Amino acid sequence: MKQFVENLPDGWTIYLWIVVAAGILIAAVFGLRWAAKNEQFDEDIKYVVFDEDDKDKMDEDEFKKMQEVHKEQEALREKYLKEKAERLTKKYEKR
């Protein structure tokens, strides 16, 4: 192996770097695609950490927004749990 590497012509490493860079870019595209499909780009995620006890620390508008976000998150949670239960039911029915 050492002899093979030593016998390669000058400038071969740039091609290795190009292949590695292309692999990184492809992985980044797949990662961003996954994140977009799984609702990872949510601007309102900051409101999830608050609860009803934080009302005195927030403006009235922020508190309303927090309540809306909590309702939306709970609806999404129910949706995903329902889908998961359906997948498991189908999986066990096939057996």
Using the predicted structure, report yes or no on whether residue 29 has a pLDDT greater than 90. yes
Tell me: do 22 and 58 sit in the same domain. no
Determine the structural domain holding residue 32 and report its residue range.
Answer: 12-41
Is the confidence at residue 27, as pLDDT, over 90? yes
Instruction: Retrieve residue 3's tokens.
Output: 């002899």
Residue 1 lies in a domain: no
In a domain, 2, yes or no: no
The DSSP letter of residue 42 is: -
What is the rounded CA–CA span in Å between residue 52 and residue 67? 8
Domain contains 71: yes
pLDDT of residue 35: 92
Q: Are residues 35 and 49 in the same domain?
A: no
* Residue 94 pLDDT exceeds 80: no
Q: What is the pTM of this model?
A: 0.55
Token pair for residue 8? 């390669």
The number of folded domains in the chain is 2
